[in-house]
Amino acid sequence: MNAGPESSRSRPARREAPCREELRELYATLDTELARIGPVCLASGRCCRFGEYGHTLFVSEPEMDHFLAEAPAPARPLDDGETCPWQDARGRCTARDARPLGCRIYHCDPAFQEVAPALSERFIGRLKALVDLHGLSWNYAPFHRHLDRRRLEIDFPGPPGQ
Ligand code: SF4
């Protein structure tokens, strides 16, 4: 059975995501910087197929709060960490505006790899400073660990074919 957004199963109310406005501003600043650097994205979707490409997406707790408050219902069921449930059948992100910092920075363009570590370190530092400023939990952990822990807050669809 598909337990989509109209599901009547009871679930806890979503936590109010703190410092969301500042987080949006940080994401916007990063997006501007990325636009200036101009890494190539061919929309292959490989960045969201973690297992296939040996990529682990790390997310902080406040980003997870923000993501779950803003993202639509996932496009696919939760798996064991192979893929992102918000990637649709065409390989596109269905939660683009809400996607966390790690999704925004990651690009598979080989030319980008030279600047990616410093850019990542700088923006993770700014994110950590923001989280500390608000006295929030950092809990920087793999995306699927967050999803697994918070699965009752999320309307995952049923397995394919059901
Ligand atoms: S949130 Fe979007 S960009 Fe990030 S891993 Fe999931 S589908 Fe990909």
The pLDDT, as a whole number, for residue 110 is: 94
Q: Which of 86, 107, 144, 146 to mutate to test the pocket of ligand 1 (most atoms within 8 A of CB)?
A: 86
Residue 2: band (very low, low, confident or very high) from pLDDT cuts 50, 70, 90: very low
- Cβ–ligand 1 distance for 144 under 6 Å, the answer no
Give nearest CA residue, ligand 1 atom 8.
48
CB 74 within 8 A of CB 155: yes
For the chain, percent of residues with pLDDT exceeding 70: 87
Measured CA to CA, the distance from residue 54 to residue 56 in angstroms comes to: 7
Reported pTM = 0.88
pLDDT higher than 60, residue 8: no
pLDDT in tens, 145-158: 999 999 999 999 98
Q: Distance between the two ends of the chain, CA-based, in angstroms?
A: 5
**CA nearest to 144, candidates 77, 68, 84:** 84
CA of 29 to the centre of ligand 1 (A): 19
Measured CA to CA, the distance from residue 138 to residue 135 in angstroms comes to: 9
SS3 153: helix
